[in-house]
Structure 1
Amino acid sequence: MKLRETLIANPIIVAIRNDHDLDKALLSKASIVFVLYGDILTISNICSRLKEKNKMVFVHVDLIEGLRGDSAGIRYIKENVHPQGIISTKTSNIKYGNQLGLYTILRVFIMDSLSIKTGIKNIHENKPNAVEVMPGVASKIISVIQQETNSCIIAGGLIKTKKDVIESLSAGAVAISTTASQLWNL
């Protein structure tokens, strides 16, 4: 199954920031997990535990302590951690992840019209498999980026209620990522 279809079938993505979140994610019915913490000594175990529960795992490579955000770090993650994909704000990581055959998610922070333009340019140039737009509650921005790039959009950041989920999906996102555990089993 392609990533877009997987996201559409599983629109709630668990985003974990610590071991407590990990324990809750393991018990959730969510199929996709974004790992937003860990270090080079713990990341393999974190991901192994998730994969044992048949979770699709994406590692935010910019947030792993002791790992440089470069080609060697991405290669290390692929060869030793074995996630389905990576998340990064750095276009060079997205480009290299694509070369290695990993699913890639470019995380873009939208603060003004210039960041929208830059984000759209980076999406076209680096061809991530999906784009996580932050903040995810900005449904107008989600709609613009989806129309301009026809990308698979994930809304992330500040999504705390069922209403936020519905608004983001209605704006054109195919999935949302959230650390709000009360939404993980929607």
Structure 2
Amino acid sequence: MGMIDKVIGLVFGNSGEMVRDTVEVFRENAEKGAQRSAAAQDQAMAQYAAEFAIERKGGFDRFMDGLNRVPRPALALGTLGLFVAAMVNPIWFAARMQGIALVPEPLWWLLGVIVSFYFGARHQVKTQEFQRSIVRTIAQVPQVVGNIRSINKLRHDSVQVAATGQDAALSLAVIEDAENPALEDWRKAAG
């Protein structure tokens, strides 16, 4: 037996550490990999939360946000208005379209660039606001989970919801027969 123990100890080392170390050269340790992944996730969420921290807006910022909301509805309603104008007064509409036909092509390109930049910047701002709202929502998850647990404890079908615990007076009050005139009348009638 002693010789077998020595051979196994030589091949596998103390408690199999030699085999484990050899295997980890070719395959990642799953537990350590999960720990590294969780740490990286925590760091990314912390950076994400810091980047999109809640910022308070002043009056000017709120005014500019309101002003920035005007062009898209104005463009959409203006286009619909052109369709209505074409149906109501085709001659007036044709005269306006002849004027637009005289606009040089470089000016159309400039208009396209301006509109593209405006809507692209607007899209980026809205995307960042959406990401901030996601961070705020994720930050509320532990509180919501705690609230749900508290609510579930209040359910009538929860485990030991009517338990009296260490309260002796409450335990006696539960066991004692209380006066119940309706129950007494029923017992007399039934019996």
Decide which structure has the larger Cα Rg and report it: 2
Report the TM-score range of the alignment, normalised by the length of the smaller protein.
under 0.3
State the TM-score, normalized to the length of structure 2.
0.18
Q: Which has the higher helix share?
A: 2
